[in-house]
Amino acid sequence: KAGVTQTPRYLIKTRGQQVTLSCSPISGHRSVSWYQQTPGQGLQFLFEYFSETQRNKGNFPGRFSGRQFSNSRSEMNVSTLELGDSALYLCASSYRVGSGELFFGEGSRLTVL
Amino acid sequence: DAKTTQPPSMDCAEGRAANLPCNHSTISGNEYVYWYRQIHSQGPQYIIHGLKNNETNEMASLIITEDRKSSTLILPHATLRDTAVYYCIVRVEGNAGNMLTFGGGTRLMVKP
CA distance B38 to B83: 9
pLDDT of B95 over the 80 cut: no
d(CA A7, CA A72): 15
pLDDT of residue B1: 65
Q: Which pLDDT does position B110 carry in this prediction?
A: 98
| Interface with A, mutate which of B98, B102, B107 (most A CBs under 10 A) | B98
Of residues B88 and B96, more confidently modeled = B88
Has residue A3 got a pLDDT over 90? yes
- Chain A hits for B101, CB-CB cut-off 8 Å, are 45
pLDDT above 70: percentage of residues in chain A = 99
Q: Give the per-residue pLDDT at A24.
A: 98
What is the structure's pLDDT at B107?
A: 97
With contacts defined as CB-CB under 8 Å, which chain B residues touch A105? 43
For residue A42, list chain B residues with Cβ-Cβ distance below 8 A. Answer: 102-104
pLDDT tens, residue by residue, B19-76: 999 999 999 888 999 999 999 889 999 999 999 989 999 999 999 999 999 999 999 9
pLDDT digits (tens, 9 = 90+) for A98-113: 788 999 999 999 999 9
Cβ-Cβ contacts under 8 Å between A and B: the total is 66
Nearest CA-CA distance, residue A16 and chain B, Å: 27
Residue in B43, B49, B102 nearest the CB of A42: B102
pLDDT at B93: 77
Taking residues A38-65, what's their average pLDDT?
Answer: 93
User: Residue B99 and residue A106: Cβ atoms within 8 Å?
Assistant: no
Closest CA to B31 of B50, B54, B16, B47: B50
| From A90, A98, A106, residue closest to B97, measured CB to CB | A98
**How high is the pLDDT of residue A53?**
93
Band the pLDDT of B99: cuts 50, 70, 90: confident
For A55-77, what is each residue's pLDDT tens digit?
A: 989 999 999 999 999 999 999 99
Per-residue CA distances from A88 to A69, A78, B44, B72 (Å)? 23, 13, 12, 29
Contact A98 B32 (CB under 8 A): no
> Which of the pair, A98 or A20, is modelled with greater confidence?
A20
**Segment among A8-17, A38-47, B77-86 with least mean pLDDT:** A38-47
- Around Cβ B33, how many Cβ atoms within 10 Å? 26
* Chain B residue whose CA is closest to A92: B43
Q: Which residue of B has its CA nearest to A89?
A: B43
Verify whether the Cβ–Cβ distance B98 to A106 is below 8 Å.
no
State chain B's maximal CA–CA distance in angstroms: 44
